[in-house]
């Protein structure tokens, strides 16, 4: 890491993650009440659900509602415990300790959202367990320290059961430390409202895009791995509001985005043609 990145890393303040504007979020079921109840009791949460269905937006909204700072960490297969907790870095002739994002959230008492946790290296679970029980501590092995979580701290994990494989599954010893909320794509009327709001397309286009989403998702039983996300439908709406013809917008933002399989693409093409 270069000197300038070190400086950048060190100047990162948890307060920067206080959301100052209310994120747009339309509740789909009782998830707001559940989150608030769990937060009051400091019960950690798992959000399960397909990609692009609103999990990240929801945690942003709840952080704003509860006036807590939010630290979001996108997990990937090289993410190690040190990336989360912190590490010593060389600065000139000396070494300095730099807290990782999880340590910062623990100290500041913020909400820490580990997105796609099953992607991370297995050594990260060693950190999660003591943070999720009555101890609420984070072991900082390299410094021989135990950090006690500040009062507002809460850990939230997300994972997509659709990607689940024997190798990448959340162990029961981990998942049974959390309350799990299942997310799915919003029902058609709510999804249309979201698409319209986020993309600026017309009400009619938004309604038809929501219908397209529903129909494409039904293909999941016919060889399509994952249905079209709300995010993709919003992209299609944005392209439409820029003047891209409807069918073309759906082709690039939905059809080609969800699959490479030509047979499935043909089916989606037909669905698009039946709607637009």
Site of interaction with ligand ADP (CB under 6 A): 24-26, 28, 49, 51-57, 186, 194, 198, 230-231, 234
CB of 120 to ligand ADP, least distance (A): 16
As a whole number of angstroms, the distance between CA 228 and CA 75 comes to 22
Contact 188, 146 (CB under 8 A): no
CA atoms within 13 A on the CB side of 102: 30
CB of 237 to ligand ADP, least distance (A): 10
> If residue 114 lies in a helix (H) or strand (E), which one and from where to where?
strand 111-115
Sign of CA dihedral 167, 172, 173, 178: positive
Nearer to ligand ADP among residue 53 and residue 271 (C-beta):
53
Counting beta carbons within 10 angstroms of the beta carbon of residue 226, is it exposed (0 to 12), middle (13 to 18) or buried (19 or more)?
Answer: middle
CB of 53 to ligand ADP, least distance (A): 4
CB of 113 to ligand ADP, least distance (A): 9
Gyration radius (Cα) of the chain, Å: 21
Nearer to ligand ADP among residue 54 and residue 69 (C-beta):
54
Contact 25, 55 (CB under 8 A): no
Residue nearest to ligand ADP (CB): 54
Nearer to ligand ADP among residue 19 and residue 137 (C-beta):
19
Phi/psi for 140 (5° steps) reads -105, 90
User: Which residues are registered as beta bridge partners of 181?
Assistant: 47
As a whole number of angstroms, the distance between CA 170 and CA 163 comes to 11
CB of 233 to ligand ADP, least distance (A): 8
CB of 9 to ligand ADP, least distance (A): 25
Nearer to ligand ADP among residue 62 and residue 106 (C-beta):
62
Nearer to ligand ADP among residue 42 and residue 197 (C-beta):
197
Counting beta carbons within 10 angstroms of the beta carbon of residue 173, is it exposed (0 to 12), middle (13 to 18) or buried (19 or more)?
Answer: exposed
Q: Which of left, alpha, beta for 67 (phi over 0: left; psi -120 to 50: alpha)?
A: left
Nearer to ligand ADP among residue 27 and residue 245 (C-beta):
27
CB of 57 to ligand ADP, least distance (A): 4
CB of 171 to ligand ADP, least distance (A): 22
Nearer to ligand ADP among residue 196 and residue 251 (C-beta):
196
Rounded to a whole number of angstroms, the distance between the first and last alpha carbons of the chain is 51
Nearer to ligand ADP among residue 48 and residue 215 (C-beta):
48
């Amino acid at each position: 890491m270069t000197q300038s990145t070190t400086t950048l890393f060190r100047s990162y303040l948890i307060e920067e993650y206080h959301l100052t504007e209310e994120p747009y979020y339309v509740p789909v079921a009782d998830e707001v009440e559940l989150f608030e109840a769990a937060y009051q009791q400091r019960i950690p949460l798992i959000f399960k659900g397909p990609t692009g269905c609103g999990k990240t937006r929801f945690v942003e909204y709840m952080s704003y509602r509860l006036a807590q700072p939010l630290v979001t960490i996108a997990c990937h297969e090289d993410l190690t415990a040190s990336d989360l907790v912190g590490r010593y870095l060389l600065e000139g002739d000396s070494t300095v300790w730099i807290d990782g994002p999880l340590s910062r959230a623990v100290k500041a008492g913020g909400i820490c959202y580990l997105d796609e946790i099953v992607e991370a290296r297995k050594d990260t679970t060693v950190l999660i367990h003591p943070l999720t029980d009555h101890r609420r501590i984070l072991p900082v092995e390299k410094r021989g320290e135990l950090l006690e979580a500040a009062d507002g701290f809460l850990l939230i994990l997300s994972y997509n059961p659709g990607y689940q494989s024997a190798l990448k599954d959340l162990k029961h010893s981990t998942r049974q430390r959390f309350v799990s909320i299942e997310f799915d794509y919003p029902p058609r009327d709510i999804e249309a409202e979201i698409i319209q709001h986020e993309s600026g397309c017309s009400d009619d286009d938004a309604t038809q895009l929501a219908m397209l989403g529903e129909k494409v998702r039904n293909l999941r039983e016919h060889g399509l791995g994952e249905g079209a996300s709300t995010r993709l439908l919003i992209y299609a709406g944005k392209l439409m509001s820029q003047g891209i013809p409807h069918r073309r917008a759906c082709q690039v933002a939905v059809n080609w985005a969800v699959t490479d399989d030509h047979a499935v693409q043909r089916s989606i093409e037909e669905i698009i043609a039946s709607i637009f």
